Amino acid sequence: MTFRAQHLLGIEPLHPTEITALLDLSDRYAEENRRGVRHKDVLAGLTQINMFFENSTRTQASFELAGKRLGADVMNMSMGQTSLKKGETLIDTALTLNAMHPDLLVVRHPNSGAVDLLAQKVNCAVLNAGDGRHEHPTQALLDALTIRRAKGRLHRLSIAICGDIAHSRVARSNITLLGKMENRIRLIAPPTLMPAGIAEFGCEVFDDMEKGLEGVDVVMMLRLQKERMDGGFIPSEREYFHRYGLDANKLKFAKPDAIVMHPGPMNRGVEIDGVIADDINRSVIQTQVEMGVAVRMAAMDLLARNLRERRVDNRPVLV
């Protein structure tokens, strides 16, 4: 198995063979989850702590389920009720938890880079569950698995990522992963929501949905991240939906068998028409949620194997 990482902090450090290894194992877990097969032995004896400093439904629930299906002891910290409220820093919180010898730490934080910083202070494996606008690696991996299962491959596809690119860690991780796997990436957004210099990542840039969607295999819509906006990025939600919201008329420009994706949570009627989101012939949004559990099982399984190996290598020599 080619996956040597100590932490999963982002897609950037991963080699394509590591991505493929992770997706192959995720595929196995996805099939076994459907059959109700459980693997309580994989993380047996290990402690997983989930620390979410930002709201989450899908990521937190699926990391918890993934850990429990693999037999870990899972603890969800209620971050609003910790001593952070009394002024304790993130690093002191991490050191405090580290002293309790966890094995897997799953962290979501509103600040870009906070999870990397925390990983430098602890002995366990750290998984980034989303940090600011930086990375959301397990989201990109579950998106990749969903695409690979729907299209039968994860290379030489034309993939449109549409909407609020500027504030999106999902876009950033997906651009990195899909680029590493040699896909053609088109970014479609109003100029106010397109980060400067993004074309350097090898993407084609559009501000018109119909032109950008022409002949694509995959349409990935993004949420308008109002919580990260401090000014007028769009004239109005109504106008935004008219120009950039995915509806049946715009989807006609993609290939007839193009799939529609959205990481959730969705703003129906803002970035996507509810009818398209619920169309089981086009939308794979619920499959993305399903693959989220499998990918997080695979990620924790592989990191735990590496953690156990490191601990064996570092054990004291008895004389």
What is the contact surface with ligand CP in residues (CB under 6 A)? 56-59, 130, 139, 263-265
CB of 199 to ligand CP, least distance (A): 26
How many helical (H) and strand (E) elements, i.e. helices and strands, does the chain have?
11, 9
Distance CA 64, CA 188 (A): 34
CB of 194 to ligand CP, least distance (A): 21
Q: Is the Cβ of residue 284 or residue 307 nearer to ligand CP in the bound state?
A: 284
> Is 146 designated active site?
no
> Is 268 designated active site?
no
CB of 139 to ligand CP, least distance (A): 5
Check 109, 136, 169, 180 and give the catalytic one: 136
Check 35, 86, 101, 315 and give the catalytic one: 86
How far does CA 194 lie from the centroid of its chain?
Answer: 20
> Is 136 designated active site?
yes
Check 7, 47, 59, 134 and give the catalytic one: 59
Q: Is the Cβ of residue 136 or residue 282 nearer to ligand CP in the bound state?
A: 136
User: What are the helix (H) ranges across 152-247?
Assistant: 169-180, 209-213, 237-244
Q: Is the Cβ of residue 28 or residue 58 nearer to ligand CP in the bound state?
A: 58
Q: Is the Cβ of residue 16 or residue 264 nearer to ligand CP in the bound state?
A: 264
Contact 302, 1 (CB under 8 A): yes
Q: What are phi and psi of 75, to 5 degrees?
A: -120, 125
Q: Measure Cα distances from 197 to 23, 96, 191, 202, 224 in Å.
A: 30, 40, 12, 10, 20
Residues labelled as active-site residues: 58-59, 86, 108, 136
